[in-house]
Chain A
Amino acid sequence: MSTDPRGTDPIPGPVPLSWLLLSCAFLITGAAWLSVQIPYPLATHLRVLLLVLGLLLAAGAVILRPTPLLLTASAFIPFLAHGSMDEEWDTARLLLRIMLVAALAAGLLATVSRRLRKFIVSMLAVAHFLGILVTASLSPPPGAEAPWLSLQLWAYVYRPYLNFICLDMRYNFYAPDPVSDTIFRYRVEFANGDAAWYRLPDRAECRTALEFSRALAIPEFVSGQAAAPDDFARLTRLREDAGENHIPPLPMPNIDPSAQYEEPSPDAKLYIESYAHHIAVAKKHPTDPGQAVTGVKIYRVGHNVPSAKQVSEGMDPNDPTLYSAIYLGEYGADGKLKPSCYHVEVDKLGQIIRETRDPFLYWLIPIIREKDGTVTDFVKLHGDAHAEAKP
């Protein structure tokens, strides 16, 4: 217990309390470290609890009295906690390593003169904002490349830091031009042959505007496109033939074929598989929840914005013909493309020797207004039909 220098202060001072807290943190984290060897599952819960408690106590000690010695000593706590964590908790271990470095750096910073401390803090602020500027400059104008220096600084210097603190955004909201939004339409087929159609986002299922915005972000997230394949002419012929043979016929719209084919980028494909698996797990049969999901057909649908002229002539912005859908394939409950939709045979080296694919895969499926004014939704027709894979 400390007293006022004049000997009149009866209230305990913070100096011993901070060290007491740090000692407790040390003991508790040490106990967690020792409990690593205990094989019972309950011990894992206890260990996590001890680690959280130890770290909180250490944080309390540091905040109470951030002296250089205490700050430096507090680095022991994340060090011990790091040793107590299973290797699978890799991101938590990364966080602890950062805490350790931060504690040591803060201890060092507290020892230097006020002038030098200001200088170091200023330089850190400058470096931080340089990183923010570098990230923001990574979105070049259409047809141009990002600045060479920005790319190098991003890749070699700032990426780990800004990734970790989630400040790796480009701030190009609705730029260079605002584009129409993307939604999903998907058809879920159950074991008994029943099927149900869904839409994402569905306003009826969203209670708040924020929920709707988040749901809208999900299809948008997989809008990355791969380059056109080398055998595009063959794929176009396959698509034309399949359209003619489809019952009812599914014609190609009268626009450039290259504008009708949108193959997702490799990472987008990875995410779409995950989406399909999520849908298979989350969606239940409307009347018989025991029915397992056997397939999910997904369509990425662009909701085009009508021109002012079209609206002035009476078109509704919700008109169904404003939707243009790209067929993303039929997936099994495991989230993989069904062999009937896409299948490749590879040799021992992983090189493709035979490819089987649904001729409509990654092609535009139109929704058109007939001459009599009725709307033909080929997405619905295609989804409910059984497409045949062709080699």
Chain B
Amino acid sequence: MNPNPESAAHDRAWTDRVAASWDHFWFHPADPIVLGLLRICCGLVALYVHLNYTRHLQEYFGENAWIGLQTINVVRTETPVLANPWGWDEPSLAALPDDRQAQKQILDYYNKYGVDPRQTVAMGHSAWSIWFHLTDPWWMEVVHLAVLVILGLFTLGICTRITAALAWLAAVSYIQRSPAVTYGMDTLMIATLFYLMIGPSGAALSLDRLLARYRARRRARALGRPLLAQAAPPLASANFTLRLVQIHLCIIYLFSGLSKMQGGMWWNGTAAWVAMANAEIAPLQYRFVVDALRYLTQHRLLWEIVMTGGTLTTLVIEIGFPFLIWNRSMRWPMLAGALFLHMSIGLCMGLLTFAAAILTMAIAFIPPEAVHGTLRKLRQSLPFARRAADPAAGAEKAATNLEPQTHEAKVAIALAEEKHTDSMTNGQIPPHVPAAPGGGRILPEETRPRAIIKNGNERI
């Protein structure tokens, strides 16, 4: 117990501040529109990736695939998992048991993997894949088609809670069955799908949301009540999910950048050359690309500037991203840098799907206002959307549809609602919140958000 009351109060204040910051970082309600955009982009990437599997189902996942079923079953159940000894001494080879059968088993395993099976921590790895069990070509095609449908539904945001989980389970299924054909892009896609499964990825920009709005309108009409706010309410779970994606992306960039610092070519600025002159990945089948490379090499200073510039840009973006992206003023430059880097890699090395997957993760850093602004501009540029937004046609709607206009207002409402409902349950509006004149809702005085009143938002 701290004998000094002032010090104790100070300590408490410090811990309270940390707790409040933590709580704000993870659980402050966020506009789910960013998550919705993330879902659409990730869904499109996943759909494209899985469409690409269609021609190669047997080649990658069949009984006689590149990694055949028999081989993958051996690998997933037998591969040795090793760890360091708990003490300082290396483990010595134990004497063989007297039993001949046991001796043979140990020696067989040793000859196969070069490891005494008694020194392993475990054998094999935990995995799920429908392709471990389904090998009939016709049924494989049926299931693959079902997966494509699921990914389509997920992208559109139909039954998103279920389709998100199914999309992740399906994607994992493909990756676990055929590790030989997977690369970095698959990990990025699977990470995003995993987080989208956790969060309310269908809370905005989804057909689920449209359906909910339609049902709410019908319900309000049936009850003769005014229509409540139609925009997706900010959700703590949306913020939590976005944070997961953001932190994961930062870890990816950080380790990608730091691991490059271990290599000589990244230090001397020649790493970019290996990517650009690698005939297997660079588009060197085109004569003009080869000519451009040759021109560069014939001008040493230019070559050094381009290569060192490319190498340094990669390092600066990858190592700087996890630190600078949290700074509001640096957010857009870092996002633009990531876009430039990955589009360059995509074009130079034929890794456009990888670029799409990692840039999809970067969407988590886009402010919701920017998404709203872009969508508003898009609506204005589309003729049918302009008609829908026609003031005369929308006059009646406006009279009964009152919704907060700013993100702060939405957050304030969500915070107020947290006293009545769990924001993890999609922000249902409590029945006792009275309706405002003209159809909006009036929050009880004690929960009315001060920030909104200060901003003079009369509509709230």
Residues on A lying within 8 angstroms of B by beta carbon are 4-6, 8-11, 56, 59-60, 63, 66, 88-92, 94-95, 114, 118, 121-122, 125, 128-129, 132-133, 136-137, 139, 141-142, 148, 151-152, 154-156, 159-161, 163-167, 169-181, 183, 201, 203, 207-218, 221-222, 226, 266-267, 270-271, 273-275, 277-278, 281-282, 303, 305-306, 308-309, 311-312, 314, 316-318, 322, 335, 348-351
Tell me, yes or no, whether B154 is within 8 Å of chain A by CB.
Answer: no
Q: Give the residues in chain B near A351, CB-CB below 8 Å.
A: 107
Tell me, yes or no, whether B429 is within 8 Å of chain A by CB.
Answer: no
Residue of A148, A209, A210 most packed against chain B (CB within 10 A): A210
Q: Do B180 and A218 have beta carbons less than 8 Å apart?
A: yes
Q: How far is the CA of A121 from the CA of B180 in the complex (A)?
A: 35
Specify which of B179, B263, B274, B303 is in contact with A180 (CB 8 Å cutoff): B274
Q: Do B126 and A164 have beta carbons less than 8 Å apart?
A: yes
Tell me, yes or no, whether B256 is within 8 Å of chain A by CB.
Answer: yes
Question: Could you tell me the distance in whole angstroms from the C-beta of A314 to the nearest C-beta in chain B?
Answer: 8
Q: Do B133 and A89 have beta carbons less than 8 Å apart?
A: yes
With contacts A132-B251, A136-B255, A318-B279 taken as known, whether A10 is within 8 angstroms of B353 at the C-beta atoms is no
Q: Do A278 and B279 have beta carbons less than 8 Å apart?
A: no
Residue of A91, A129, A139, A271 most packed against chain B (CB within 10 A): A91
Tell me, yes or no, whether B183 is within 8 Å of chain A by CB.
Answer: yes
Specify which of B22, B169, B264 is in contact with A177 (CB 8 Å cutoff): B264
Tell me, yes or no, whether B388 is within 8 Å of chain A by CB.
Answer: no
Q: Do B293 and A136 have beta carbons less than 8 Å apart?
A: no
Tell me, yes or no, whether B55 is within 8 Å of chain A by CB.
Answer: yes
Q: How far is the CA of A311 from the CA of B270 in the complex (A)?
A: 14
List 28 A-B residue pairs with CB atoms under 8 Å apart, sorted by A's residue number: A6-B431, A92-B133, A118-B26, A122-B26, A129-B247, A132-B248, A155-B122, A166-B176, A166-B190, A167-B190, A170-B259, A171-B251, A171-B255, A175-B263, A177-B264, A178-B275, A209-B350, A210-B48, A211-B52, A211-B56, A214-B56, A271-B180, A308-B277, A308-B303, A311-B293, A348-B104, A349-B100, A350-B104
Top 8 A-B pairs, shortest CB-CB distance: A176-B263, A155-B83, A175-B259, A177-B263, A176-B262, A312-B297, A172-B259, A181-B280
Q: Do B277 and A169 have beta carbons less than 8 Å apart?
A: no
Specify which of A94, A312, A314, A335 is in contact with B126 (CB 8 Å cutoff): A94
Q: Do B68 and A267 have beta carbons less than 8 Å apart?
A: no
Q: Give the residues in chain A near B76, CB-CB below 8 Å.
A: 91
Specify which of A141, A278, A316 is in contact with B65 (CB 8 Å cutoff): A278
Question: Could you tell me the distance in whole angstroms from the C-beta of A146 to the nearest C-beta in chain B?
Answer: 9
Q: How far is the CA of A282 from the CA of B68 in the complex (A)?
A: 12
Q: How far is the CA of A152 from the CA of B351 in the complex (A)?
A: 34
Q: Do A163 and B130 have beta carbons less than 8 Å apart?
A: no
Q: Give the residues in chain B near A9, CB-CB below 8 Å.
A: 223
Q: Give the residues in chain A near B194, CB-CB below 8 Å.
A: 165, 167
Tell me, yes or no, whether B301 is within 8 Å of chain A by CB.
Answer: no
Q: Give the residues in chain B near A218, CB-CB below 8 Å.
A: 66, 180-181
Tell me, yes or no, whether B252 is within 8 Å of chain A by CB.
Answer: yes
A/B pair count, beta carbons within 8 Å: 273
Tell me, yes or no, whether B400 is within 8 Å of chain A by CB.
Answer: no
Q: Do B284 and A88 have beta carbons less than 8 Å apart?
A: no
Q: How far is the CA of A136 from the CA of B352 in the complex (A)?
A: 24
Q: Give the residues in chain B near A181, CB-CB below 8 Å.
A: 278, 280-281
Question: Could you tell me the distance in whole angstroms from the C-beta of B248 to the nearest C-beta in chain A?
Answer: 7
Specify which of A114, A163, A303 is in contact with B127 (CB 8 Å cutoff): A163
- Chain B residues bordering chain A, tally (CB within 8 A): 111
Question: Could you tell me the distance in whole angstroms from the C-beta of A226 to the nearest C-beta in chain B?
Answer: 7
Q: Give the residues in chain B near A170, CB-CB below 8 Å.
A: 255, 259
Residues on B lying within 8 angstroms of A by beta carbon are 22-23, 26-27, 48-49, 52, 55-56, 59-60, 64-68, 70-71, 74-76, 79, 81-84, 100, 103-104, 107-108, 111-114, 121-122, 125-130, 132-133, 161-162, 165, 169, 172, 175-176, 179-187, 190-191, 194, 219, 222-223, 240, 243-244, 247-248, 251-252, 255-256, 259-260, 262-266, 270-271, 273-275, 277-282, 284-285, 290, 293-294, 296-298, 303, 350-354, 422, 425, 431
Closest A-chain residue to B225, C-beta based? A8
Question: Could you tell me the distance in whole angstroms from the C-beta of A310 to the nearest C-beta in chain B?
Answer: 8
Q: How far is the CA of A159 from the CA of B422 in the complex (A)?
A: 34
Chain B interface main SS type = helix
Q: How far is the CA of A218 from the CA of B59 in the complex (A)?
A: 11
Q: Do A209 and B107 have beta carbons less than 8 Å apart?
A: no
Q: Do B297 and A136 have beta carbons less than 8 Å apart?
A: no
Q: Do A178 and B274 have beta carbons less than 8 Å apart?
A: yes
Q: Do A177 and B125 have beta carbons less than 8 Å apart?
A: no
Besides A121-B240, A173-B256, A267-B113, 7 more A-B contacts (Cβ < 8 Å) are A91-B76, A91-B127, A94-B128, A167-B194, A213-B185, A311-B297, A349-B104
Closest B-chain residue to A129, C-beta based? B247
Q: Do A349 and B190 have beta carbons less than 8 Å apart?
A: no
With contacts A165-B172, A165-B190, A167-B194 taken as known, whether A118 is within 8 angstroms of B27 at the C-beta atoms is yes
With contacts A267-B79, A306-B277 taken as known, whether A8 is within 8 angstroms of B262 at the C-beta atoms is no
Q: Give the residues in chain A near B185, CB-CB below 8 Å.
A: 213
Q: Do A213 and B279 have beta carbons less than 8 Å apart?
A: no
Q: Give the residues in chain B near A317, CB-CB below 8 Å.
A: 277-279, 282, 284, 290, 293
Q: Give the residues in chain B near A95, CB-CB below 8 Å.
A: 128, 169
Question: Could you tell me the distance in whole angstroms from the C-beta of A8 to the nearest C-beta in chain B?
Answer: 6
Q: How far is the CA of A161 from the CA of B125 in the complex (A)?
A: 10
Closest B-chain residue to A122, C-beta based? B26
With contacts A213-B351, A221-B180 taken as known, whether A91 is within 8 angstroms of B128 at the C-beta atoms is yes
Q: Give the residues in chain A near B129, CB-CB below 8 Å.
A: 91
Residue of A56, A118, A273, A308 most packed against chain B (CB within 10 A): A308
Q: Do B260 and A176 have beta carbons less than 8 Å apart?
A: yes
Q: Do A209 and B64 have beta carbons less than 8 Å apart?
A: no
Q: Give the residues in chain A near B67, CB-CB below 8 Å.
A: 271, 274-275
With contacts A59-B165, A91-B127, A311-B297 taken as known, whether A214 is within 8 angstroms of B181 at the C-beta atoms is yes
Specify which of A160, A172, A211, A306 is in contact with B255 (CB 8 Å cutoff): A172
Question: Could you tell me the distance in whole angstroms from the C-beta of B349 to the nearest C-beta in chain A?
Answer: 9
With contacts A160-B126, A303-B280 taken as known, whether A282 is within 8 angstroms of B22 at the C-beta atoms is no
Closest A-chain residue to B65, C-beta based? A278
Q: Do A63 and B161 have beta carbons less than 8 Å apart?
A: yes
With contacts A164-B126, A167-B191, A274-B66 taken as known, whether A125 is within 8 angstroms of B248 at the C-beta atoms is no
Q: Give the residues in chain B near A118, CB-CB below 8 Å.
A: 23, 26-27
Specify which of B26, B74, B350 is in contact with A125 (CB 8 Å cutoff): B26
With contacts A132-B248, A176-B263, A303-B279 taken as known, whether A210 is within 8 angstroms of B49 at the C-beta atoms is yes
Q: How far is the CA of A161 from the CA of B126 in the complex (A)?
A: 8
Q: How far is the CA of A350 from the CA of B162 in the complex (A)?
A: 52
Q: How far is the CA of A282 from the CA of B252 in the complex (A)?
A: 37
Q: Do B281 and A173 have beta carbons less than 8 Å apart?
A: no
Question: Could you tell me the distance in whole angstroms from the C-beta of B240 to the nearest C-beta in chain A?
Answer: 7
Closest B-chain residue to A179, C-beta based? B274
Q: How far is the CA of A155 from the CA of B84 in the complex (A)?
A: 9
Q: Do A92 and B130 have beta carbons less than 8 Å apart?
A: yes
